[in-house]
Amino acid sequence: MENFGEILNWVDDQQERMVETVKAWSRINSGSHNLEGLAKMGEVVTEAFLSLGAELEVREARRGEKINDRGELEKVIFGPVYHFKKRPSANRKVLLTGHLDTVFPKDHPFQKPVNLDGNTLNGPGVADMKGGILVMLVALEALERSGMAGSLGYEILLNSDEEVGSTGSAAILTECAKACDFGMTFEPAWADGTLAGERKGSGNFSVIMRGRGAHAGREFEKGVNAIAALAELVTELQALNGTEQGLTINPGLITGGTATNVVPDLAICKFNVRVKTTAQQAWFEREFKKILDKYNARQGLKAESHGHFTRVPKILTGANKKLFEVLKDLGKEIGIEVAWAPTGGCCDGNNLAAAGLPNIDTLGVRGGKIHTDEEFALLDSFTERAKLSTLLLLNYAAGNFRL
């Protein structure tokens, strides 16, 4: 390893600053649909990342769609994508991605960080991924302080809709992926430091079941109960779990009906599907269509679907495996064991891989219990992970590895 000791020592000195900053950022509610909170987060990260001397373009995300409780299609507005560029004409270029949004809406009770002990911080986004964004920032600051900075260009994408599938920012992720050599995404690692390797693909779907309303007492026989029909359909979906190894279907939300004395004419189920392969994705789509066709053949019922797969499975290519091996070797030089394992979770690493960009997508802090009010980050991992990313950037800038 070249003598990067002085730069790594500087990273170590950022520990207190990183911890205090993540606490401040955690107090800003930036749930995926809290546009005001996302704008505030956008302001603070803009101030932080412009200190790198990068150029910024704030890009509008494409609007999404959702089914409301009346079974109608509505447009959804997402927060913007903050796109920074530094040395875009460099021969070597890296794409770094992160997200500003959390899963906790504005009215969620989980709003403030709390120290659970001397090394564990509980708070919204401390791991997923405001802590990760800080790891990215400090690693880039370290690069800029080094003599290697002029050899490496980079682009940074901080989107506002990752937790809801990145449907608004997907095209921008793909565009930037095609202009860079490899990707670094700062989702949290597991608490023991394990990184995510292969990832499942994911899709979000809605079934809108329409029946025929009637008075539950006077004219019960004239009604066609949409809730009862939907319950049958959901049972059939649930039964598909386990028929293909690794495929999971999770009915997550059901709405419908108006009163107990009314035969309901509308019921809606929203569900998530995870697949290990694109072949599984095609299999599910065929089976789902068969189920819908069966209910549409019943008199008085109409079953509609909305949604699609938004992320294809992330398979580790040869270049991606080599990138992991490079990181593993660099980790040894500073006493960090680097290992990776497959996961059912999805992130923007799926999008980058689908665009052909090898990437490591869990370079953020070590933590756990994400997407719950017990989310935590381990404080000793802030500078630890920043040093790991710093080494990856410096060694690529120095030409010490190629993919």
Per-residue pLDDT tens over the stretch 233-253: 999 999 999 899 999 999 999
Report yes or no on 260 lying in a domain: yes
Provide the CATH number for the domain around residue 95: 3.40.630.10
Based on the domain organization, do 45 and 162 belong to the same domain?
yes
Based on the domain organization, do 154 and 76 belong to the same domain?
yes
Positive/negative CA dihedral, 128, 133, 134, 136: positive
pLDDT at 1 over 60: no
Instruction: Please identify, among 287, 311, 335, the residue that sits at the C-terminal boundary of a domain.
Output: 311
Based on the domain organization, do 307 and 322 belong to the same domain?
no
Mean pLDDT of the chain: 97
Instruction: Please identify, among 284, 311, 338, the residue that sits at the C-terminal boundary of a domain.
Output: 311
Based on the domain organization, do 132 and 19 belong to the same domain?
yes
Q: What is the largest CA-CA distance in the chain?
A: 85
Report yes or no on 213 lying in a domain: yes
CA distance readout (Å), 211 to 109, 223, 289: 37, 8, 19
Based on the domain organization, do 330 and 354 belong to the same domain?
yes
φ/ψ of residue 230, rounded to 5? -65, -40
pLDDT of residue 61: 97
- pLDDT-derived band at 373 (thresholds 50, 70, 90) equals very high
Based on the domain organization, do 57 and 136 belong to the same domain?
yes
- pLDDT-derived band at 269 (thresholds 50, 70, 90) equals very high
Based on the domain organization, do 108 and 177 belong to the same domain?
yes
- pLDDT-derived band at 393 (thresholds 50, 70, 90) equals very high
Which residue bears the tokens 């009010």?
Answer: 373
Report yes or no on 402 lying in a domain: no
Each residue's pLDDT tens digit, 332-342: 999 999 999 99
Positive/negative CA dihedral, 389, 393, 399, 403: positive
**Bridge-partner residues for 82, per DSSP?**
58, 158
Report yes or no on 194 lying in a domain: yes
CA-atom Rg of the chain in angstroms: 23
Domain count of the fold of the chain? 2
Peptide bond into 129 cis (omega under 30): yes
Return the percentage of the chain with pLDDT > 90, whole number.
99
pLDDT of residue 106: 96
Based on the domain organization, do 334 and 306 belong to the same domain?
no
Q: In this structure, are residues 55 and 85 in contact, taking their beta carbons and an 8 Å threshold?
A: yes
Based on the domain organization, do 167 and 263 belong to the same domain?
no
Instruction: Please identify, among 279, 311, 343, the residue that sits at the C-terminal boundary of a domain.
Output: 311
Based on the domain organization, do 251 and 181 belong to the same domain?
no
pLDDT of residue 145: 96
> What 3-state class would DSSP assign to 318?
helix
Q: Shortest CA distance to 305 belongs to which of 393, 249, 233, 223?
A: 233
- CA distance linking residue 60 with residue 62, whole number of Å: 7
Provide the CATH number for the domain around residue 303: 3.30.70.360
Report yes or no on 97 lying in a domain: yes
**Bridge-partner residues for 155, per DSSP?**
85, 95
pLDDT of residue 2: 63
Q: In this structure, are residues 170 and 355 in contact, taking their beta carbons and an 8 Å threshold?
A: no
Amino acid letter, residue 318: G
pLDDT of residue 130: 98
Based on the domain organization, do 28 and 142 belong to the same domain?
yes
Each residue's pLDDT tens digit, 11-39: 999 999 999 999 999 999 999 999 999 99
Each residue's pLDDT tens digit, 270-307: 999 999 999 999 999 999 999 999 999 999 999 999 99
Based on the domain organization, do 192 and 284 belong to the same domain?
no
φ/ψ of residue 197, rounded to 5? -100, -105
- pLDDT-derived band at 350 (thresholds 50, 70, 90) equals very high
- CA distance linking residue 270 with residue 204, whole number of Å: 7
Structural domain including 278 reads: 201-311
Report yes or no on 403 lying in a domain: no
Listed in sequence order, the residues at least 6 apart from 39 whose beta carbon sits closer than 8 Å to its beta carbon are: 79
Report yes or no on 301 lying in a domain: yes
Averaged pLDDT, 298-322? 96
